[in-house]
């Protein structure tokens, strides 16, 4: 469990991004029009934010084990072929995949809007969350991430005339108590689509490409939708988006967070499938 340890050395967490995510590198890479968005791969919680949570120690480690899309940043990597934006903190700090306005966010009813107030099994995650504290968290962590994503999309549109966002996630093989879909049998890969931003060719290509290695693929189950920055959402049809969710049991031990022996091969297959989807888009 040592790899679930919290980060305490994040003087400015939002500058601690990987090699693809400094702004200059992003602009150079985005000429292909492809953006990999990976919002849930990190377990890092700044020490000052961890003190605001009501769980710690083993309980927090277990919650991170359930909620983190561990290794998604390794699975979704196309090298120089795509810009990449990895949220550098845990979704327990803020969740950049959720709508900022709780009235638009279905998971807010579960206490899991952009700032979570409950754990995946419904226990309190924060002792209190007033309006000012929620706003502070959004302005500090959520807004800069979305501004960066919007900038990447604008650059892609300027340089390529289109933009394809591949929203990369993984999911537990059994439903979490908070999940809207509680069916016990889950696919190997879930493709999430948006009626405005996922054209038919992109949906068809993605399902075929992920079925090719023999994986069971389902559309919008157990998770639906895909990420589009708000200023383009349902407004600009040149912004394509597709969500790819990989069943964690394909590549990791979900009890210990260790990689499985075959995880390297799974990673290579996913990368080659992503490359095929990108080739179809270019």
Q: Which residues bind Zn ion (CB under 5 A)?
A: 40, 69, 169
C-beta contacts of 228-235 below 8 A and 24+ residues apart: 228/165, 228/194, 228/197, 229/146, 229/149, 229/150, 229/153, 230/99, 230/100, 230/146, 231/150, 232/150, 232/153, 233/196, 233/197, 234/196, 234/197
For the bound state, the minimum distance from the C-beta of residue 191 to Zn ion, rounded and expressed in Å, comes to: 14
Tell how strand 83-86 and strand 239-247 pair up.
Answer: unpaired
Choose between 169 and 186: whose C-beta lies nearer to Zn ion.
169
Choose between 134 and 169: whose C-beta lies nearer to Zn ion.
169
For the bound state, the minimum distance from the C-beta of residue 127 to Zn ion, rounded and expressed in Å, comes to: 26
Cβ contact 152:83 at 8 Å: yes
Choose between 42 and 155: whose C-beta lies nearer to Zn ion.
42
**Residue 85: other Cβ atoms inside 10 A:** 24
For the bound state, the minimum distance from the C-beta of residue 50 to Zn ion, rounded and expressed in Å, comes to: 21
Choose between 32 and 107: whose C-beta lies nearer to Zn ion.
107
Choose between 178 and 280: whose C-beta lies nearer to Zn ion.
178
* 177 vs 185: CA distance, rounded Å: 15
For the bound state, the minimum distance from the C-beta of residue 22 to Zn ion, rounded and expressed in Å, comes to: 23
Choose between 68 and 205: whose C-beta lies nearer to Zn ion.
68
* 135 vs 268: CA distance, rounded Å: 40
- What string of DSSP letters covers 106-148? GGGGGTBSSSB-B-TTS-BSBS---HHHHHHHIIIIIHHHHHH
For the bound state, the minimum distance from the C-beta of residue 108 to Zn ion, rounded and expressed in Å, comes to: 17
Tell how strand 189-192 and strand 217-219 pair up.
Answer: parallel
For the bound state, the minimum distance from the C-beta of residue 179 to Zn ion, rounded and expressed in Å, comes to: 12
Q: Which residues contact 120 (CB under 8 A, 6 or more apart)?
A: 63, 66, 67, 176, 177, 178
Choose between 17 and 227: whose C-beta lies nearer to Zn ion.
227
For the bound state, the minimum distance from the C-beta of residue 35 to Zn ion, rounded and expressed in Å, comes to: 16
């Amino acid at each position: 469990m040592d790899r679930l340890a919290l980060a305490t050395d994040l003087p400015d967490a939002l500058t601690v991004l990987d090699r693809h995510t400094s702004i200059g590198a992003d602009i150079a890479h985005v000429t292909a029009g492809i953006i990999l968005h990976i919002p849930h791969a990190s377990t890092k919680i700044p020490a000052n934010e961890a003190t605001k949570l009501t769980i710690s120690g083993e309980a927090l480690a277990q919650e991170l084990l359930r909620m983190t899309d561990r290794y998604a940043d390794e699975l979704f990597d196309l090298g120089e072929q795509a810009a990449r934006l990895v949220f550098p903190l845990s979704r327990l700090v803020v969740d950049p995949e959720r709508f900022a306005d709780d009235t638009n966010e279905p998971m807010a009813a579960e206490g899991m809007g952009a700032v979570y107030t409950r754990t995946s099994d419904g226990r309190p995650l924060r002792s209190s969350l007033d309006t000012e504290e929620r706003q502070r968290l959004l302005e500090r962590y959520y807004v800069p991430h979305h501004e960066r994503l919007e900038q990447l999309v604008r650059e892609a549109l300027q340089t390529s005339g289109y933009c394809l966002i591949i929203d990369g996630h993984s999911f537990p093989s059994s439903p979490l108590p908070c999940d809207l879909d509680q069916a016990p049998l889950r696919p190997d890969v879930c493709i999430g689509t948006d009626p405005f931003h996922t054209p038919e060719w992109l949906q068809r290509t993605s399902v075929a490409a992920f079925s090719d290695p023999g994986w069971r693929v389902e559309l919008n189950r157990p998770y639906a939708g895909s990420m589009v920055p708000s200023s383009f959402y349902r407004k600009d049809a040149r912004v394509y988006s597709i969500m790819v969710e990989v069943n964690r049991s394909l590549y990791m031990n979900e009890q210990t967070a260790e990689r499985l022996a075959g995880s390297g091969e799974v990673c290579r297959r996913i990368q080659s499938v992503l490359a095929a989807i990108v080739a179809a888009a270019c």
